[in-house]
Amino acid sequence: MKFCIINLGCKVNKVESDSFAAALLAQGHQASELAEAELVIINTCTVTGEAEKKTRKTTRQALTRAPQARVIVTGCAAALHAETFSSMDKRVEVVEKSRLFELLQQQNNVWLANKGFRTRVGVKVQDGCNNACTYCIVHVARGRATSISANHIVRECKALAEAGVKEIVLTGINLGSYYDDTFDTTSPLTLAGLLHLLLDETKDIHNDDEPPVRFRVSSIEPKDVDEAFIDLLASSQGRICRHLHLPLQSGSSKVLKEMARPYDAAYFAALVEKLYARVPQLSLSTDIIVGFPGETDQEFEETCELARVCRFSKIHVFPYSKREGTPAAQRLDQIDPEVKAVRAAQLRDIAQQLRQEDFKRRLNGSEWVLIEEGGIGMTESYHEVALKREYVSGKLVYVSLADEIDE
């Protein structure tokens, strides 16, 4: 059978979609273009109103472009509005994600690694979120925070390392809430404990001429960055990539409060200062929403200022988009779309400048770079670079950035 998987939304969705593909390939099915597919799986997203609109449009397009295909719709938007999708066509089947895993995921990611499916492999360790940010519907769609058992994660990561994977990206909706009290009943594992365990269990799985697998934390909420986590980041010599995605969302304490984010601007700035002091090589990326209801020019300026202070290496800029069912969507002081567009463009300019500055600072040094396809590498600091020399893809190589980057 020919299948096509369409992934929308966050990194967790991407990891899940890769697992769907791995399971299907393992059973001898064949990945294909949409037009030839007999089975289409759409992993949907509902993070913003725009994302949900795109999800509906994508499903309609799949029905048209793959006229023979059975279309399975899963994920956050499908969980919230199953009827919207199932009423589109009798070929559409809405399947709850964990059920779809049961149906498809007979093999785990080990197979995926053996096939050289991707050089960087995501492993989902957590799902759901106990926060209630006022712009977000994901915590409703995904439900309360849950964690996958450390035993299971260790088994999966060891198998991936044995299969030659060199970077494992730990993913979750709210990774910092990781908690497992089944592994050691006297001392429950948090994210730092899990990482310790993973480093230890995989440290000897490598050839003599290369380092062991490294881990990347896909995203962590500011309040979850505790001392144990910082200690580990500072001492692991890059086995935990010294790159964190730390969502800021706004640099205005007033806006943060209205977003129900559990920190203010001063807390975030102090955390970043501490992180840079303890881990000087650290690269920080972030998410920022511009044009949240009621955001004034002055509050937007505070965001730009804090972004500069934090020297982010990458900023994902999101113009605020109303998400029905959230408190922020009810507000009457929505920001004019043109104002949002202007603010987004201004912040993207700042982001680009900061990214260039971050990379320039790194040019004097060396980093372990994961070689991907086509002469492209991913630095520990999460810069994608073109390399002058040819390396075998999938390897980790120590590269002098000034000498070996093709600018």
- Residues forming contacts to ligand SF4 in the complex (CB under 6 A) are 129, 131-133, 136, 138-139, 173-174, 221
318 φ, ψ to 5°? -115, 115
**Six token digits for residue 347:** 């912040």
Three-state DSSP at 38 gives: coil
242 φ, ψ to 5°? -85, 55
Q: CB of residue 172 vs ligand SF4: minimum separation in angstroms?
A: 10
Three-state DSSP at 169 gives: strand
C-beta closer to ligand SF4: residue 79 or 205 = 79
CA–CA gap between residue 402 and residue 373 (Å, rounded)? 21
C-beta closer to ligand SF4: residue 221 or 380 = 221
**In which element (H, E) is residue 378 found?**
strand 376-379
C-beta closer to ligand SF4: residue 173 or 230 = 173
**Six token digits for residue 71:** 């279309």
**Paired strand residues for 245:** 285
Label the pairing between strands 283-290 and 214-217: unpaired
Q: CB of residue 120 vs ligand SF4: minimum separation in angstroms?
A: 23
C-beta closer to ligand SF4: residue 14 or 383 = 14
C-beta closer to ligand SF4: residue 41 or 259 = 259
Q: CB of residue 244 vs ligand SF4: minimum separation in angstroms?
A: 15
Q: CB of residue 287 vs ligand SF4: minimum separation in angstroms?
A: 9
C-beta closer to ligand SF4: residue 51 or 129 = 129
Q: CB of residue 136 vs ligand SF4: minimum separation in angstroms?
A: 3
Residue with tokens 């449009």: 57
HSE (CB half, 13 Å, CA atoms) of 260? 10
Q: CB of residue 129 vs ligand SF4: minimum separation in angstroms?
A: 3
